[in-house]
Amino acid sequence: MGGSSPTIVASIGGGVNSGGGTSGSCCDMSLRCWCRWRCREHQHQHRLFSSAWVFFFACFVLYGSVATLYAWLAFTPGFTQPHSSLGCLEDNEGSWSVGVFYGDSPFSLKPIEAMNVWKDEIAAWPVANPVLTCASVSDAGYPSNFVADPFLYEQGNLLMIDSANTASKWERKGQSIAVHMNSVFLLALKISKGQKDAAQLVSWETEVAWNEVDIFAVIKLFWHHNKDVFEKPGDTLYLFYETKNPMTMQGDIGVSKSTDKGATWQQLGIALNEDWHLSYPYVFNYLDQIYMMPESSSKGELRLYRALKFPLQWTLDKVIMKKPLVDAFIINYDGKYWLFGSDHSGFGASKNGQLEIWYGSSPLGPWKPHKNNPIYNVEKSFGARNGGRPFFYNGNLYRIGQDCGETYGKGVRIFKVEVLTDDEYKEVEVPLGLIEPNKGRNSWNGARYHHLDVQQLSSGEWIGVMDGDRVPSGDPSRRVILGCASVVVVALLVALLGVIVGAVKCIIPLNWCVHNSGKRSDAFLAWERSDLFSSKVRRFCSRLNRAPSFLRGWIKPNTYAGRLVVAIIFVVGVALMCTGVKYIYGGNGAEEAYLWKGHYSQFTLLTMTYDARLWNLKMYVKHYSRCSSVREIVVVWNKGIPPKVSDLDSAVPVRIRVEKKNSLNNRFKIDPKIKTRAVLELDDDIMMTCDDIERGFRVWRQYPDHIVGFYPRLIDGSPLKYRGEKYARRHKGYNMILTGAAFIDSQVAFRKYWSEEAKQGRDLVDKYFNCEDVLLNYLYANVSSSSRTVEYVRPAWAIDTSKLSGAAISRNTKVHYQVRSNCLLKFSEMYGSLAGHKWEFDGRKDGWDL
């Protein structure tokens, strides 16, 4: 034993020959894999790289090139959302924004875009949700990563009675009347313009029999004297919301103002900012005072603030409760005030599934706990956590709860309160009636919505504000984890490939598994042998290093089956590498709409097709209906039996307009059913990204009197000749945009096209069955008040799917171009030449016309 140990140690130490049977071999059989590495290191130490390192480096270059190519093709570099530099940073809590809804009842709410609210000053025809975003708040000078938890406060100017003047006069009529009337007028009477002077009230107070005062008679009499004021709308809406500051990474309470029922909002600033996180700004009236009760759970208190100078100056009125309640509200019901909230700090409390109730005679307290607290302590999808302001409808009280099942704030649920007493509470769920978003992450609320405040305006109409998010909670971290995991799996697959092809001889060198590779004493070796963990690790490494030989014997790379396995592993690695790059660098996967003047809008997508191109249409509708700003798709059906709308997979309404005559002029036919001013004329055989479409729409909103499109042409020469895009780029300019992919003003373009002066041109289009897009460019140039009539937007990529079938309209390019050249000559005689105009590429600040 004493003589053999040094021999083994010498072998472990690096192949030093100590005599015996080891002179012909540098290693003991039990350490063959490790020794192979060490022996080759000594035998080939003059080499810079081993075969394994060369293999790994080659795979790194190959997979890195694939990832770079994928990123270049998929992420459209240079075309990014122009978010404010102050805010809108990726946040694990989400990218919340706020939308507005209207309806005849709280159960028939529809988004603002469905109400067709048009605003010329922001080029929104119609205005579309969301109406409040991190960008609109940040651009106003208040940095924000997201806005959420919206609460409305309607203020038609309250009648403020001077208590020192008016009440003293009432006291001469009756002491008890003075106080009561003061309270009634301060709380109940709303007028919509200015404040009424108290003297005006006193001037007709003698008409009332003060010794037999009927409060409602007084209100009725006041309304009679101010009828013209009461009948005029114009209430001011204030919106309080949580805004997350990207510098402090905590929530503050922001406030905005609207004078057009929520269509547009003026950002007023930060209403409340504390040293801790604030959210859920529940605002309400009590005894002529405006209060706010935001969530302050991180402070461990429920605090009540009172407005000093509404809406931006507030002071702490009192601490209602020394409990970290979340999403609490106060409601007056059946002669008592009720406080609903959730306390997640207690032992055994179900987070987002707990609800408690307190009651008292005043919102200021004191509060008594409900006999059955906690009312709920259930799983988080139930809706126990509050999700907005409760409301009354048809004499019933309704509570809004959050469904936090799949992710935090997945949705809202409505509960009708059937019993609310000191010792009993019962509610039943009722349907909300909202249409669920179906555009996925391209919808501003496609992933979740968790807060709703619905109120009835003085006009009788119901309005609701709701927050929404296009991504689930924790999405940025999830993407990074999945991306890194994909890259790690690729690394393992590369190692597996190396083993199969023989570039990697063993998996774990045994010198990574032993304590000491130098000489050791007999005593030390005896201790080492007794170390079970070290021994087990070495045995595991030895067995693991047998895998390469086993794999090479099982999967022989020189056979067809072996090559197939190698190819499959390589392809899987490429797919995972692209997946990893997408998760890490590809953003949240949404193709969002672009703001213009702080607001969004929508457009109608119109295409013209016929029966032979039905497969094109199905693919077209499925893809473009998911684009964020598409409101409706109109299919102009020129020939054959039209499909059923149910045959098309669409996220928006589809209307098929069947034409009696097969004519290209049908593309620009006046259609009073179109509900948007913007129309995207897009051929059914053109496929491009939704982001390209959204950028084009954004440019059109800036230049609504122009044709804004993706295919530029330059018309010049003598005689005029029609040429492709390459010619325009060689000559660094364009003066025509093809309307096969272009935004136009439906109210202007269609009327121009079907005007009497355009009749000759339309006849020529029917004659050649071509040139309808050329004609519209001539008509724009002929009557436009602006010298420039076209704008180009460069798409990241575009595919002509007609090339994949035999259904292309213009199969012979040479003949097609010759017909169009003839059209140019004819149209120039009719409407004047375009050759005198030319606009250079890269002429706009957005850089989208390169």
Q: Tell me the catalytic residues.
A: 773
Output the six-digit token pair for 19: 């005599």
Secondary structure letter of residue 190 according to DSSP: B
Locate all alpha helices (DSSP H) within 226-333, ordered by sequence. Answer: 227-230
- Cβ neighbors of 747 (< 8 A, separation 6 or more) are 677
Q: Which residue, 662, 742, 730, 757, is CA-closest to 699?
A: 742
Give residue-wise pLDDT tens across range 320-335. Answer: 999 999 999 999 999 9
The β-bridge partners of 141 are: none
Q: Which residue has the higher pLDDT, 611 or 693?
A: 693
At residue 813 the predicted structure's pLDDT band, cuts being 50, 70 and 90, is confident
The domain containing residue 711 runs over which residues? 602-831
For 595-628, give one letter per residue: b (16+ CB within 10 A) or e: bbebbbbbbbbbbbbbeebbebbbebbeebbbbb
Domain contains 612: yes
Domain contains 22: no
Please say which residue of 590, 623, 646 terminates a domain: 590
State how far the Cα of 762 lies from the Cα of 768, in Å rounded to an integer: 10
**Poorest-pLDDT segment among 42-46, 290-294, 679-683, 763-767:** 42-46
* pLDDT value at 762 more than 90: yes
Give residue-wise pLDDT tens across range 476-506. Answer: 999 999 999 999 999 999 988 888 888 877 6
* 612 backbone φψ class: left, alpha, beta (φ>0; ψ -120 to 50): alpha
Domain contains 465: yes
Give residue-wise pLDDT tens across range 706-746. Answer: 999 999 999 998 889 999 999 999 999 999 999 999 999 99
Residues 790 and 713 in one domain: yes
Residues 279 and 410 in one domain: yes
Residues 290 and 301 in one domain: yes
Output the six-digit token pair for 581: 């790059």
Domain contains 519: no
Domain contains 539: no
Secondary structure letter of residue 627 according to DSSP: S
The β-bridge partners of 284 are: 291
Q: What is the CATH number of the domain that holds 621?
A: 3.90.550.10
Residue 402 contacts residue 418 (beta carbons within 8 Å): no
Residue 146 contacts residue 93 (beta carbons within 8 Å): yes
Backbone angles phi, psi at 185, to 5 degrees: -70, -40
* pLDDT value at 637 more than 80: yes
Output the six-digit token pair for 636: 């102009």
The β-bridge partners of 678 are: 745
Give this prediction's pTM: 0.82
Confidence (pLDDT) at 589: 87
Residues 318 and 422 in one domain: yes
Residue 358 contacts residue 367 (beta carbons within 8 Å): yes
Residues 615 and 733 in one domain: yes
Residues in the chain: 850
Confidence (pLDDT) at 111: 97
SS3 690: helix
Domain contains 793: yes
- Cβ neighbors of 111 (< 8 A, separation 6 or more) are 99, 100, 101, 128, 129
Q: What is the CATH number of the domain that holds 259?
A: 2.115.10.20
Residues 409 and 333 in one domain: yes
SS3 597: coil
Confidence (pLDDT) at 520: 52
Confidence (pLDDT) at 370: 96
State how far the Cα of 713 lies from the Cα of 726, in Å rounded to an integer: 9
Residues 245 and 131 in one domain: yes
Give residue-wise pLDDT tens across range 540-584. Answer: 777 777 777 777 778 888 888 888 999 999 999 999 999 999 999
The β-bridge partners of 236 are: 155
Confidence (pLDDT) at 836: 81
* pLDDT value at 352 more than 60: yes
State how far the Cα of 33 lies from the Cα of 499, in Å rounded to an integer: 13
Confidence (pLDDT) at 81: 56
* pLDDT value at 47 more than 60: no
Confidence (pLDDT) at 800: 85
Output the six-digit token pair for 444: 């501003």
* 814 backbone φψ class: left, alpha, beta (φ>0; ψ -120 to 50): alpha
Mean pLDDT score across all residues of the chain: 83
Please say which residue of 569, 590, 611 terminates a domain: 590
Residues 65 and 188 in one domain: no
Output the six-digit token pair for 716: 């010049």
Residue 714 contacts residue 684 (beta carbons within 8 Å): no
Residues 390 and 478 in one domain: no
Q: Which residue, 482, 371, 454, is CA-closest to 110?
A: 454
Strand positions, DSSP E, 93-249? 97-103, 110-111, 127-128, 147-155, 236-245
Confidence (pLDDT) at 523: 55
**Poorest-pLDDT segment among 403-417, 721-735, 791-805:** 791-805
Domain contains 516: no
* pLDDT value at 458 more than 70: yes
Please say which residue of 520, 555, 590 terminates a domain: 590
Confidence (pLDDT) at 29: 42
Output the six-digit token pair for 204: 């007709």
State how far the Cα of 712 lies from the Cα of 709, in Å rounded to an integer: 8
Q: Which residue has the tokens 């509960």?
A: 415
State how far the Cα of 731 lies from the Cα of 60, in Å rounded to an integer: 42
Output the six-digit token pair for 121: 């000053």
Residues 130 and 178 in one domain: no
Can you tell me the mean pLDDT for 817-844?
A: 92
For 84-114, give one letter per residue: b (16+ CB within 10 A) or e: bebbbbebebbbbbbbbbbbeebbebebbbb
Whether the link from the prior residue into 374 is cis, omega within 30° of 0, is: yes
Output the six-digit token pair for 743: 């935004």
State how far the Cα of 331 lies from the Cα of 362, in Å rounded to an integer: 10
SS3 605: strand
Which residue type is seen at 161?
Answer: I
Output the six-digit token pair for 315: 């002071």
Backbone angles phi, psi at 87, to 5 degrees: -155, -155
Domain contains 18: no
Report helix angle 51-74 to 475-501, nearest 10.
Answer: 140
State how far the Cα of 16 lies from the Cα of 25, in Å rounded to an integer: 10
Q: Which residue, 486, 484, 485, is CA-closest to 574?
A: 486
Residues 429 and 396 in one domain: yes
Can you tell me the mean pLDDT for 795-802?
A: 86
DSSP secondary structure string for all residues of 367-398: -EE-TT-SSEE--TTS--SB-S--EEETTEEE
- Cβ neighbors of 333 (< 8 A, separation 6 or more) are 397, 417, 420
Half-sphere exposure of 170 (CA within 13 A, CB side): 24
Total domains in the chain come to: 4
Residues 633 and 496 in one domain: no
Confidence (pLDDT) at 521: 56
Q: Which residue has the higher pLDDT, 523 or 401?
A: 401
